[in-house]
Amino acid sequence: MVLNRFMYSRKLIALLLILLYCFTAYATATFTPSELLYSTIAYIVVLGYFTYYLSVRRSPREVIALTTFIVLVLIAGTVTGCIVIGMSRIGSLLYTLTISISSFTVLLSIGKLYKA
């Protein structure tokens, strides 16, 4: 019962969004193969939880709001990571561009799915 309440709390969602921001900024700033691997695993775990959370909660507004926050967190994390390294690595900039484009595509498709 307590674990179930914790799993669906907004505090956990906020904590996971902050962790996703940190993972994204760190992966963009360091941009080594091992850090990209660890960050990709962290993305899969965190985004998998968000997918599970959104499949349980059926409110279209909540789905669109959380997806918008995820996109903003990913973009803010990649921009922060690029600012830290001084925009000097082309791979990191392409990584940022790819994450931004894919995030906006997901946001647009979910918006059309729920007809927001």
Structure tokens at 21: 């921001």
Return the amino acid letter for 42: A
HEC sequence for 71-104: HHHHHHHHHHHHHHHCCCCHHHHHHHHHHHHHHH
Enclosing domain of residue 45: 2-113
CA distance 88 to 109: 33
pTM: 0.79
Whether 116 shows a pLDDT value over 60: the answer reads no
Number of domains in the chain: 1
Phi-psi region of 114 (alpha: psi -120 to 50; beta: other; left: phi over 0): alpha
Q: What is the dihedral of CA 112, 109, 80, 53, to 10 degrees?
A: 90
Length of the chain as a residue count: 116
pLDDT in tens, 44-102: 788 778 877 777 766 778 877 888 888 888 888 888 888 888 777 777 778 777 877 77
